[in-house]
Amino acid sequence: MTSTIFTIGFTKKTAEEFFHLLQDAAIEKLIDVRENRVGQLAGFAKFPDIAFFLDRILEIEYLYEPLLAPSPEIRQAYRKTKDWPQYEESFLELMEQRRILEHIGPDQFEGKVALLCSESGPEKCHRRLVAEHLMEYWKTLGHNVEVRHLAIDRPVARRKKRVKKIEGADPL
């Protein structure tokens, strides 16, 4: 099997930027790996809206895989300490405890599949840890796997909105 595991976060992106990244990469399936997918701050990426938008806008299948989400304890500890190496160690231990390599197989990543979480970049995000962990293991099984992070490389030019002035309307 030859595969690319894509990752994407939704913060610091407009809906337009987010969906264009997925479209440009020709993503076919998105796996949500967030601990909380219904938070009010998630905007367009809040469940069930995200599943609806993915299907209707780009015909992308949406799946939720809580096995690949960090525990509340790990996230809370990181918020307090900001110790990223400790977060990585704790999260990798959690993936081992959950035996994700037995539950998540390369067949689930056939085609163009992206892992979704909230962090804007992959540097300090668990989706990167998941993708790299799966890649490293699957390579030992003889699969050709790479990881690619979908991100905004440069500012996206905004479209100018056309506003008509209504005759006789008072300015605000």
pLDDT score at 17 = 96
Q: What is the pTM for the complete model shown?
A: 0.86
Map out the domains of the chain as residue ranges: 2-150
Report mean pLDDT in 10-residue bins for the chain, 172 residues: 91 95 97 90 89 97 97 96 97 97 93 95 96 96 94 61 49 49
pLDDT score at 155 = 54
Burial class (CB in 10 A: 0-12, 13-18, 19+), 50: buried
- Asked if 111 and 29 count as a contact pair (C-beta separation under 8 A), the reply is yes
CA angle 97, 100, 105 (to 5 degrees): 160
- Asked if 4 and 17 count as a contact pair (C-beta separation under 8 A), the reply is no
E strand map for 10-143? 29-32, 61-64, 113-117
